[in-house]
Amino acid sequence: MERKPHFVRREFSPREVSSTSVALLLVTVLLLNALLYLYLNKFYSSLGRAESDPSLCPFGYFKLGAVKNCSPWLSCEAINREVRKLKCVGEGAVKKVFLSEWKENKVVLSQLTNAELKEDFLHGLKMLKALQSKHVVRLLGYCEQQFTILTEYHPLGSLRGLNETLNIPKYKGMNTWHRRLMLAIDYVSIIRYLHSSPLGTLVMCDSNDLDKVLSQYLLSSDFHILVNDLDALPLVNRSAGKLVKCGHRELQGEFVAPEQRWPYGEEMPFEDDLMPPYDEKTDIWKIPDVSNFFLGHVEGSDIVRLHLFDIHAACKKKDPAERPSAQEILDTYRKVLTLLIREAAMPGTREML
């Protein structure tokens, strides 16, 4: 008589099952951490927007669109001959801005409108040339004699239209705490770059209210931030005892830093000569207000604000010397992003362990 195989079913003890579950959980956590590390490494090398960008051309050159070769900055002659104005898209105190076309590429042509402000215009051009990087709008050409600057076109425009852009169906998927925090990191990265630029410590003076700040920056099609207007960018040189003043008129309101306000009370009329100068920590004071705009009111944004509370409170210290540096703020923002991504990827892991 043929003998049938006999299968023995093994019963695992609760302790063995528990140990196996913990081991599998630990392996899962390690794998998720590895994926998170790879993601954040890619994020910091691309979205983190390092100052040196291998896709940029050598000084005095640019490339546009899908073109692989670098072209020299366009001269007066080339701009007059090859650039065609399409329409006026903006006008400020210093210049008028035209959407234009160059070799089937949309570009932006800026022209001085007030001769009394030509020094501001030329200062902006000088800064634009010297600070070319992934943080700054791309310069395509200029003509000093005609007070004309040619730059890359970004169809999403300035940051003033950010919320409207995120309400467009095409971009609604970008309207998350994660993407908004990335924009705040971009902004702080730019401030950090200006404070440690190749030219020295530069202060973003065109920033007396939130709307003015937002108008100085562009939103690129891949949702990065670029600084666009560098007309008011004075230099701080502590070793030489050189501080700055943002303009020659009285500044008011809670948005500007305390040291930018007239310190002698209402009974004494404002006099520019008596106004004490200040340093780059005025930019730090404004970071919480600008970041609050970026974070908006989407799901999860209040959690981000909670994690940033301490660093933002430090930014609002009345004594400028007690405020953190832009680098310290940037480090904190990145740590918060890493923490929240990890928590989103592994909800409840801590309790399970």
For residue range 168-199, what is the model confidence (pLDDT) as tens digits? Answer: 999 999 999 999 999 999 999 999 999 999 99
Q: Tell me what pLDDT residue 67 has.
A: 80
- Which tokens is 210 given? 């939130």
Q: Which residue carries 């040189």 as its tokens? A: 237
Question: What is the spatial distance between Cα 278 and Cα 247, in angstroms, rounded to a whole number?
Answer: 12
Question: What is the spatial distance between Cα 52 and Cα 91, in angstroms, rounded to a whole number?
Answer: 32
How distant, in Å, are the alpha carbons of 16, 17, 94, 179 from that of 8? 18, 18, 88, 55
Would the CATH topology of 70-153 be identical to that of 154-345?
no
The whole-chain average pLDDT of the chain stands at: 88
Contact 109, 83 (CB under 8 A): yes
**CA-angle at 246, arms to 245 and 249, nearest 5°:** 95
Question: What is the spatial distance between Cα 201 and Cα 196, in angstroms, rounded to a whole number?
Answer: 5
Looking at domain 70-153, which of 3.40.50.300, 1.10.357.10, 3.20.20.10, 3.30.200.20 is its CATH number? 3.30.200.20
Give the chain's largest Cα–Cα span.
117
pTM of the shown model: 0.84
Express each pLDDT in 248-278 by its tens digit: 999 999 999 999 999 999 899 999 999 999 9
- Which tokens is 194 given? 């200006």
- Domain limits of the chain? 70-153, 154-345
Single out the residue of 98, 101, 93 nearest to residue 110, CA to CA. 98
Among the ranges given (2-6, 103-107, 314-318), the one the predictor scored with the smallest mean pLDDT: 2-6
Single out the residue of 70, 42, 75, 38 nearest to residue 57, CA to CA. 70
pLDDT band of 156, cuts 50, 70, 90: very high
Strand partners, 35: none
Looking at domain 154-345, which of 3.40.50.150, 1.10.645.10, 1.10.150.240, 1.10.510.10 is its CATH number? 1.10.510.10
